Amino acid sequence: MPTVKQENPAPLGIKFELAYGVGSVGTAIFVIAPQILLLYFMTEALGIPPAAAGLALLFPKLVEFFTDPLIGRWSDKIQSRWGRRRPFMAVGSVFFLIGFVALFTPPDFSHWHNSLAWVLILYTLTTTAYTFFEVPYITMLSEVTDDAQVRTRVSGWRSVFLSVGFMLAGGLAPWIVQSGGADKAAFATMGLLVGLMSFAAMATTVLGTGSGRVIQRSMQSSGQLLLPLRVPAFAWLWLGFIIQMISVSVNSALLTYYNKYWLGNNDLTISKIFLGVMTLTVLTTVLWTKLARGIGKYRGFYIATVFYALGMALFWFAKDSTLGFWLAVTVLGIANAGQQLFCFAIVPDVIAAERERSGFAEEGAFTGIWVMGQKLGLALGAGIAGLGLHLFGFIESLAGTFTEQSDSAMFAIVLFVSVVPGIICLLSLYPIYKSRQSFNS
């Protein structure tokens, strides 16, 4: 068995930890802005039928099923004066900006088929650029420290900045679109402003993490692209993460429809949801961190998952009263802090344990597959949302106009924004439990 050569690096320091955390602002923008606005953009601004729009969001995943693990493996092998990870992150940040801005700035096509093709191509470019940044970014935490408590602390910073990104993407982006009339010009303005914010955060991390000393390890590789999925603790956790991303995506993709057709189409409603959720996430992250020390990360993850499912299901009552609205936001916000913290604190622990067991330093291979799972879950959720609207008879609009919907379509919007994602989220508990069993065996 190959040995892992390493040396103990100096403490990371607050400068590195903050610079590392800031990158999550950029990644949060990718996770949230397209999730709450892209399906809506396609059906309500470009006039694309919901079934075609939902299925189209799955296309980039066919490409990324191959590219994400390859990028992770590639970043394991490269050597440069900027290290193994930061060159990829730099390239990803630049192309992310280009792709994201162009995605929401299509030409005036005469037929929705052409608009659909534009979104397909640019969304594929944007998600691939995101992979170039995100895979090395997550991997970096596994190779700058072997201390699980330090990883939890840095994950806490990451969670806080991720929440800031969610506030910007979930609070500012919908407001720009809604206040601008939800037409193509409004989406183009949003794409430019939000894209620039994302790029600034990513670039800050690229430039600010150069001080982090990487633990020198053996560069030996197993050469097996999908080897991480043969590690039970990782494979089960990955499956649970995909299921959770599906639930998050179904909920977030329907929020804008929920606001338009049930909550009065107020410009600030979506912003209030994300600002409320993320404020509570920031305020309660430290409590979840303390809970992790007391009962363990996996047990904390169980609790957070149950409350997250409950928070989404409570959106059923948001249409009935202000109390119901804020109750859903409160539960979801508190649970979200735990979801973010435990998920991204457990992954480095699993990777480190497998590295110690096998002797192979293949962190990028693990995170490449992990990010592929994230994007697969988000795309599947958006596809389920679009298909659900289609099956219940939802009629697409054009240029922000209001179209009367059938009772079944209105019911579908409520169902898929609350109960459906809540049930899906609970399904992730079993694979998380199996991951814990494998990790402790």
Global pTM reads 0.78
Q: Where are the alpha helices (DSSP H) in 7-111?
A: 14-40, 50-56, 59-77, 86-103
The residue ranges of every structural domain in the chain are: 14-209+228-440
Instruction: Decide: 246 and 422 in contact? Cβ < 8 Å.
Output: no
Instruction: Decide: 412 and 392 in contact? Cβ < 8 Å.
Output: yes
For residues 365 and 375, give the distance between their C-alpha atoms in angstroms, rounded to a whole number.
16
CA atoms in the 13 A half-sphere facing the CB of 192 = 7
Instruction: Decide: 68 and 372 in contact? Cβ < 8 Å.
Output: yes
User: Residues 194-229: pLDDT tens digits?
Assistant: 999 999 999 999 998 875 555 545 445 555 667 788
At the top level of CATH, which class does the domain 14-209+228-440 belong to?
A: mainly alpha
Among 51, 281, 273, 311, CA closest to 173: 273
Question: Residue 263 burial (CB < 10 Å; 0-12/13-18/19+)?
Answer: middle
The alpha carbon of residue 94 and the mean position of all alpha carbons in its chain are separated, in whole angstroms, by 19
User: Residues 118-139: pLDDT tens digits?
Assistant: 999 999 999 889 889 988 888 7
For residues 2 and 219, give the distance between their C-alpha atoms in angstroms, rounded to a whole number.
10
Per-residue tens of pLDDT for the chain, all 441 residues: 444 444 445 556 778 888 888 998 998 888 888 888 999 999 988 999 998 988 888 777 777 777 777 777 777 777 777 777 888 899 999 999 999 999 999 999 989 999 999 999 999 999 889 889 988 888 787 677 667 777 677 777 887 788 788 888 888 899 999 899 888 999 999 999 999 999 999 999 999 887 555 554 544 555 566 778 889 999 999 999 999 999 999 999 899 899 999 998 888 898 899 889 888 988 898 899 899 889 999 999 999 999 999 999 999 999 999 999 999 999 999 999 898 888 878 988 888 888 778 776 677 778 778 878 888 888 889 889 988 999 999 988 765 567 889 999 999 999 999 999 999 999 999 999 999 999 987
Phi, psi for 205 (deg, rounded to 5):
-65, -40
For residues 49 and 386, give the distance between their C-alpha atoms in angstroms, rounded to a whole number.
9
Is 86 strand, coil or helix?
helix
Q: Amino acid letter at 53?
A: A
Torsion angle of C-alpha atoms 232, 9, 338, 31, degrees rounded to 10: -80
For residues 318 and 321, give the distance between their C-alpha atoms in angstroms, rounded to a whole number.
6
Instruction: Decide: 98 and 198 in contact? Cβ < 8 Å.
Output: no
